[in-house]
Amino acid sequence: MTPKQLAFQTAAEGIIKNLEKRNMEGYFFEDSASCVKAIIDIIEDGSTISWGGSESIKECGLMTALQAGNYTLFDRLTAKTPEENRELYVKAVLSDYYLMSSNAVTFDGELINIDGNGNRVACLIHGPKNIIMVVGMNKLVPDVASGYARVRNLASPSNAKRLGRNTPCFHTGKCGDCLSPECMCNQVVVTRRSGQPGRIKVFFVAEELGY
């Protein structure tokens, strides 16, 4: 590993210990390939799986691996009507595994996430049996305030560009603390502890993934 990756490994090991105190599990991987293999190994054949909007789970190769497996996948992007979209959301809430990243993770083991519609953070909070998070080294922050700032000024402008949202951050590259019709920062959730031991599993990868 590079010195940067070794430093990330050291940080991740400390965060994993703090996650344990918060009823969550953490794992460290040198690269995406080993991370994806570990995730595939724990997901049972025939499992129902859904996910939130996440570039990290695409970039690491997890989605490609799942599509080649024996699973039932609930993809909300396949919905053709509002009714189908709602039905897929209900299935996502009841899925065996829900996949996502975290917008930021503090060194103390807290998860910071900001959402537009709220479907992603809703499933993180309650519903699916298991939450699997893939987190790259670019998501680590010293505290909750830094995580909030990171999401608003780094992740949200990038997502606005990706989705073509007409928001201030699309035009300026930084948060405008907007209340615009296309605002993506409607729900702010800090997960400081899981009420269900081991439900949330965080897979740290010594790479930069997502926004």
pLDDT of residue 39: 98
pLDDT of residue 117: 87
Reported as a single tens digit per residue, the pLDDT across 123-132 is 999 999 999 9
Reported as a single tens digit per residue, the pLDDT across 11-45 is 999 999 999 999 999 999 999 999 999 999 999 99
Reported as a single tens digit per residue, the pLDDT across 164-206 is 999 999 999 999 999 999 999 999 999 999 999 999 999 999 9
Amino acid 41 reads D
- pLDDT tier at 61 (50, 70, 90 boundaries)? very high
pLDDT of residue 188: 94
Q: How far apart, in whole angstroms, are the C-alpha atoms of residue 143 and residue 63?
A: 30
Tell me which H or E stretch contains 90: helix 82-93
Structure tokens at 154: 């780094």
Reported as a single tens digit per residue, the pLDDT across 147-168 is 999 999 988 999 899 989 999 9
- CA separation (Å) from 103 to 4, 95, 111, 190? 20, 22, 8, 10
Reported as a single tens digit per residue, the pLDDT across 87-138 is 999 999 999 999 999 999 999 999 999 998 899 999 999 999 999 999 999 9
Residue 59 has pLDDT above 90, yes or no: yes
pLDDT of residue 80: 87
Residue 77 has pLDDT above 90, yes or no: no
Closest CA to 135 of 191, 79, 67, 78: 191
* Cβ(153)–Cβ(174) below 8 Å: yes
Q: Where are the beta strands (DSSP E) in the chain?
A: 25-29, 48-51, 72-74, 97-100, 104-106, 111-115, 130-136, 140-141, 187-191, 200-205
Q: How far apart, in whole angstroms, are the C-alpha atoms of residue 72 and residue 95?
A: 9
Residue 76 has pLDDT above 90, yes or no: no
Q: What percent of the chain has pLDDT over 90?
A: 86
* Cβ(152)–Cβ(158) below 8 Å: no
Residue 1 has pLDDT above 90, yes or no: no
Q: How far apart, in whole angstroms, are the C-alpha atoms of residue 71 and residue 98?
A: 13
- pLDDT tier at 78 (50, 70, 90 boundaries)? confident
pLDDT of residue 53: 81
Give the chain's count of helices (H) and strands (E).
9, 10
